[in-house]
Each structure stands twice: as structure tokens, then as C-alpha cells.
Amino acid sequence: MAHWIQKRKSVLLWLLVTIGLSAWLGHVLLQAEDKTLLLPGKTTHGHYQIEMACSACHTAEEKENVFTSSGVPNSACTNCHGEDLNQFSDSHPTRKFKNPENAIFLEHVNAMNCVECHAEHNEKITHDMGVTIPQDYCAHCHQVTLENLESHQNLKFHTCATAGCHNYHDNMALAPSFLLKHYGEANNLKEQKVAEVNALQRWLSEGNKKRAALTIEEADAPSPKLTDPAINLDWEHTAHAAAGINCSDCHDDPVSGVWMPAPDHHTCKKCHDVEVTDFLKGKHGMRLAHPELSPMTPTQARQSLKATSAHRDLSCSSCHQPHRYDREFAAHQACIQCHDDEHTRNYDKSPHFALWAAELAGTGEERTGVSCATCHLPREERDDHHVVNHNQNANLTPNEKMIRNVCMDCHGLQFAMDAMADREVIADNFSTRPTKAHPGISWTVDAAIKRGNEEIIALKNYLESPNPSPPENAVSPPPTTTQQNNSRTNEKE
């Protein structure tokens, strides 16, 4: 009898534990936001923000009737990355391998499927850029490169992407024609100013009507909301008030008309569609693109961030203070309130910071300061307007993307390549100078000279001559004497 009772207790305990675990797992699967318990492995730095939104990658579109990593369709990747691939002229689009002449290469790497090279949840085999195949994958198709290019004969295939020489999808930044075009540029260019942006002008060009500027007396918030003079004063001095944007334009729910105490990015998107769309692509805002996820907080990040900001929600108002919308604050102070890595801590010791501080103090020229946003949220020309790209990851993956649309606003190509290839210089936030020259331009110039390119030969002779005379029909204008002196002075420093 005692044995039977003990057995019943064991069965009852097993049932209770099973039911409890099932209920808990069911809650995690169906209701809880944090689903990391269900992940088959750790996700990459590019996707860990949205790893709880399984449906972002594992879509309803079937692929070989398998719901595994290999079953993720290409459309799940191109939904987020397709625009970038098109913008930067994807070097290896799937259509290239549909050509019968290239089909043989698929025997080594099935380049038709994104997840062939980027398989998530495989931390032990994941390299930079989320690549999960051996780093010498270039060898399968480009063995002929070693045979034909003298400069590459002593190189190993796992170094192809080192220092940004080659990238599988985007080779625009260091294309040979681009390197030759900018051969011989001085370290510091003569014109060093960032582009000017005018959101109001763009807003008006999109068919919106200009409104009269508003004052505190014209604020239309409900009376209980008008009791804080600091808020009203902040608002009165913003571009919003100058453009006739009243309290109700942001705080009234567009459907119900009910007052919203804290408008979100959907409200901002009504006027700042480009900026919000970009913001939702980057790590700061990508979680907001998925309705089932809460905003990103620094405590969820995988890099060094300040504990004092650990639970701060990342949204538009995290950087653009509500009612004040101070762009100077958003360009620097907003960044350092969270970031705490070596690169960030060294910013105030850098020449870039000195330029930024001088501009803010009125002792430097306008649009010559270099803030965090100058490099990480660059101003780009789109549809005849300059806008701030709010996807802070757009030019960091890989970092040589920054060369074209950021570094070369002020610096010559060779200097920019040297700096972006030097990890110590990056960690010092460019307070020090690169000590090693990136070989890309010299290799390309040598190859052009061997082909008999007279323009490059003349330009090289000019640059190396102690008493230079400008060559005729140079590929790019040779540096002026002032630029050369600046370059040589900088090198001595």
C-alpha cells in the first residue's frame, strides 16, 4: 500500500511539473517578448536585436517545406537588405549565377541562397559580417586572380576582406576606377564642409503648405498641459514653432483625436518620413519596425554602454529631446549619454572634437565641425535634397562605406583608407595618425602603369618630382602647392 501511494505521488508530481513547464513554454512561445529560451543558438550582431521576432526571418513563405535555418527564403533577407544591395550595385546578385556560364561555381558555394553564407544561430562558425562559411571562400571562383595579378601572388584568400580590399556584395568603395580617380589627393582637402540640410524646404516641396510661425500665446495644448513654462519656452524656440507646427499636430491621435502624452515615431513619420524610415533600419530603431517588440534599451546591447542609461528606451525622443529638438545635443551629447567604448571616450581628445567645439563657440566656420553624427549619421543627397541618414549602421558594415560619403568630404582617399584600416587609430577616435599605408591605390596605380596608362604615368611623375609641373589631361587634378604643404606638414606632425 505504501509503495502504491508513493508511486501515485511520483506520477502526480510528474504531471504537475509537466503541466507547469508546458504552461511556461506556451507563455514564452505565444505571449512573452523574450523568446531567447527557444533559440537554437546565439544570433549575430546584425540580428540579435530582433531575435525574439522569429517571423521576421522565418516567414510564412515555404522553402522546401522545412522550418529551419536553411528554410529561410531569400525574400526574408531582401525585405531588409534589398534596398542597400540595389543602391550599392550588388557584386554577386543571384541573377549572375543563373547565367549558365557561372553555374559551375554553385558546386562550391550555393550563392543562390543568402543563408548558404549567412546561417544564423551558429556562433562558433560566425565570422565578421555574419559570414558562416570558411573565410577563403573567394578561392573557389577567383583562383585566376592569383595567377594574373602580380600584387596578389603572395596573399592568402582569407585576407581578401582584410582592411577593406574586397567585399562580396559591395565593391564600390574601393573600385579600381575610383582609386585611380583619386590618386594623389592630399591628406586634407581644400574644401572641408559638411552638406547643409533644410527639412522645412523638403517638407514644402512635398506639397505641404507653409504656415505662419507660432508663439507661446498660440500654443493649443489643453490648459492643464500649458502649466510648465519651460516646455512652452523650449517649443517656441524650435523649428516646429517656426514652421507653424502646434502642440496638437504631434499630440492628437490622428484616429481618435485623443491627446497623447508621449507621441511615438509614428507621429514623427508624418513629417519626417525619410528620417524615421532610416531609423527603423538601424540597431537603434530596428525593434520598433516589429510591432510585437518593445523599443531597444542599452541593457540589451552587446557593446559597452553606460549603466546609468541601461533602461532608457531608444526612440526619436531619446536623442531629440521632447519640445526642444536640439540638433547640437542630438549630434553629440545624446550619443555619449549611452555609449562608453574606447572610441567614444577618446572623441573629446580628437581634432574632430576641437573643430566641433570651435564651431559651437562661434570661433570656427559653420559646417566645419565634426560631431558623432557627422560621421555616423551622415548628410546625404536624395532627390535634390540633403537629408540626415538616421540608420547609424549604414556606413559601418563594413566601415569602408564611410570613406565615400563621410571621410572624403574633408580628406583624400589614401589618407581615409589608411585611417579606416587602422584599428588603433579608430579606437583613438582619430586622435593619432595612421602609420601604415593601405596598398590598394599603389597596387592599382602599378597595374595601370604596366598597362601603359599615360595619364597615370604623368601624374605619378608629377607627384614624385621635386619641381613638379602639372601633367596634361590628368585623371584627377593634381594637388595644389598649398595642399602638398598641408599634407607634408601633417605627416611631420
The verdict on residue 465 lying in a domain is no
For residue 487, pLDDT beyond 60 = no
- What one-character-per-residue DSSP string does 93-142 give? -HHHHHSGGGGGGGGT--TTSGGGT--SS-GGG--GGG--S-TTTTHHHH
Buried b (16+ CB within 10 A) or exposed e, 473-486: eebeebbeeebbeb
DSSP at 252: B
The verdict on residue 316 lying in a domain is yes
Mean pLDDT on 461-471: 74
Q: In this structure, what C-alpha cell is assigned to residue 215?
A: 508663439
Same domain as 339, residue 276: yes
Mean pLDDT lowest among 417-431, 440-454, 472-486: 472-486
Same domain as 153, residue 67: yes
> 412, 427, 442: which is the final residue of a domain?
427
Same domain as 140, residue 246: no
Q: What is the per-residue pLDDT across 59-111, written as a single tens digit (0 to 9) for each?
A: 766 554 444 445 688 888 998 888 888 887 888 998 899 898 888 888 888 89
Q: Measured in whole angstroms, how far is the alpha carbon of residue 154 from the centre of its chain? A: 33
Whole-number percent of the chain with pLDDT over 70: 87
Same domain as 401, residue 253: yes
Contacts of 226 (CB under 8 A, 6+ apart): 219, 232
- Nearest CA to 105 out of 72, 131, 144, 146 is that of 144
Q: What are phi and psi of 381, to 5 degrees?
A: -85, 125
The verdict on residue 382 lying in a domain is yes
Q: What is the per-residue pLDDT across 169-199, written as a single tens digit (0 to 9) for each?
A: 888 777 889 999 999 999 998 777 888 888 8
Find the distance separating the first CA and the last CA of the chain, reported in whole Å. 92
DSSP at 363: S
Q: Please give the tally of structural domains in the chain.
A: 2
**For the chain, what is the mean pLDDT?**
84
Specify the residue for cell string 547609424. Answer: 392
Q: What is the per-residue pLDDT across 6-55, written as a single tens digit (0 to 9) for each?
A: 666 676 777 777 777 777 667 666 666 666 777 888 899 889 989 888 88
More confident residue, 474 or 152: 152
Same domain as 418, residue 307: yes
DSSP at 339: B
The verdict on residue 436 lying in a domain is no
- Nearest CA to 223 out of 233, 232, 211, 213 is that of 232
CA–CA separation, 401 and 236 (whole Å): 39
Mean pLDDT on 207-233: 84
The 3-class secondary structure across 169-190, one letter per residue, is CCCCCCCHHHHHHCCCCCCECC
Whole-number percent of the chain with pLDDT over 90: 37
CA–CA separation, 58 and 287 (whole Å): 16
Same domain as 300, residue 236: yes
> 132, 158, 184: which is the final residue of a domain?
158
Expressed as residue numbers, the domain containing 330 is 199-427
The verdict on residue 403 lying in a domain is yes
Same domain as 219, residue 82: no
Contacts of 110 (CB under 8 A, 6+ apart): 116
> 394, 427, 460: which is the final residue of a domain?
427
CA–CA separation, 141 and 105 (whole Å): 6
| Cα→Cα distances 347→224, 339, 363, 372, 429, Å | 43, 11, 20, 8, 6
Same domain as 280, residue 154: no
Q: In this structure, what C-alpha cell is assigned to residue 385?
A: 535634397
Same domain as 294, residue 213: yes
What's the confidence (pLDDT) of residue 296? 92
- What one-character-per-residue DSSP string does 455-487 give? HHHHHHHHHH-SS--PPTT-SSPPPPHHHHHHH
Q: In this structure, what C-alpha cell is assigned to residue 288?
A: 520598433
CA–CA separation, 95 and 421 (whole Å): 32
Q: What are phi and psi of 113, to 5 degrees?
A: -120, 125
Q: At what angle do helices 413-420 and 440-450 cross, to 10 degrees?
A: 130
- Nearest CA to 369 out of 486, 187, 186, 196 is that of 196
Which strand (E) or helix (H) includes residue 385?
strand 385-388
Q: Give me the half-sphere count of Cα atoms (radius 13 Å) on the Cβ side of residue 446.
A: 9
Q: What are phi and psi of 305, to 5 degrees?
A: -135, 160
The verdict on residue 10 lying in a domain is no
Same domain as 230, residue 146: no
Contacts of 2 (CB under 8 A, 6+ apart): none
The verdict on residue 397 lying in a domain is yes
For residue 478, pLDDT beyond 60 = no
Provide the 10 A C-beta neighbour count for residue 250.
Answer: 18
What's the confidence (pLDDT) of residue 230? 84
Strand partners for 379 = 388
For residue 381, pLDDT beyond 90 = no
What's the confidence (pLDDT) of residue 360? 94
| Cα→Cα distances 355→189, 241, 441, Å | 15, 30, 29
Q: Is 412 exposed, middle or buried (0-12, 13-18, 19+ CB in 10 A)?
A: buried
DSSP-derived pairing of the beta strands 385-388 and 379-382: antiparallel
The verdict on residue 245 lying in a domain is yes
Same domain as 246, residue 118: no
Q: Which long-range contacts (CB under 8 A, 24 or more apart) does 215-224 make?
A: 215/241, 218/246, 219/246, 219/247, 220/246, 220/247, 220/248, 221/247, 221/248, 221/251, 221/259, 222/259
Same domain as 238, residue 154: no
